[in-house]
């Protein structure tokens, strides 16, 4: 599974203005609703429910909120670079400025986990995260996210 299977250029937000975790999730749910055709409230509720189980703030300024929804026919991703870091109850207690939202159909067991692993692997790369933090251009962010690992190593 590649990142290009999850996001499109329209699913990249270059300067999300949010002052709290809740506001960031609401804004992302609104944008995800436009992309998926699902109701914004349904997406927001699934994200909040997942956060109640434990934070999706994975550390190093990164959060990967995710959830499964009925009526979704495939996996969807949404990436946001925040204008200013926000508190996200992260495991390392550091504020978050990079968020990769992942939505999956209820039936997507292994695919959901593969997509989470792929996103996690990408955002564990400090060099990639530095580049993502260094631009506020949506096209450049999309290019950085979807660049193949082989070309990153060069």
In this structure, what are the phi and psi dihedrals at residue 43, rounded to the nearest 5 degrees?
Answer: -65, -45
The tally of domains found in the chain comes to 1
Tell me the mean pLDDT in the region 109-134: 93
Length of the chain: 154
Domain hosting 29: range is: 3-147
Q: Please indicate, yes or no, if residue 152 is contained in any of the structural domains.
A: no
pLDDT digit string, tens, across residues 43-90: 999 999 999 999 999 999 999 999 999 989 999 999 999 999 999 999
Tell me, what's the pLDDT at 118? 93
What are the structure tokens assigned to 7, written together?
């996001």
Catalytic positions, please? 66
Q: Please indicate, yes or no, if residue 153 is contained in any of the structural domains.
A: no
What are the structure tokens assigned to 47, written together?
């994200």
Cβ atoms 47, 65 nearer than 8 A: yes
Distance CA 28, CA 131 (A): 22
CATH number of domain containing 129: 3.40.930.10
Q: Please indicate, yes or no, if residue 137 is contained in any of the structural domains.
A: yes
């Amino acid at each position: 599974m590649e990142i290009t299977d999850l996001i499109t250029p329209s699913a990249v937000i270059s300067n999300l203005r949010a002052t709290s975790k809740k506001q960031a999730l609401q804004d992302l749910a609104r944008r995800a609703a436009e992309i998926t055709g699902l109701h914004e409230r349904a997406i927001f509720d699934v994200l909040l429910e997942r956060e109640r189980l434990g934070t999706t703030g994975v550390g190093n300024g990164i959060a990967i909120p995710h959830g499964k929804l009925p009526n979704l026919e495939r996996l969807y991703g949404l990436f946001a670079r925040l204008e200013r870091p926000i508190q996200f109850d992260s495991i390392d207690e550091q504020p978050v400025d990079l968020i990769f939202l992942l939505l999956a159909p209820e039936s997507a067991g292994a695919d959901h986990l593969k997509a989470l692993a792929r996103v996690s692997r990408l955002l564990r790369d400090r060099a990639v995260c530095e580049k993502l933090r260094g631009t506020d251009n949506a096209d450049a962010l999309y290019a950085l996210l979807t660049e193949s690992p082989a070309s990153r190593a060069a």
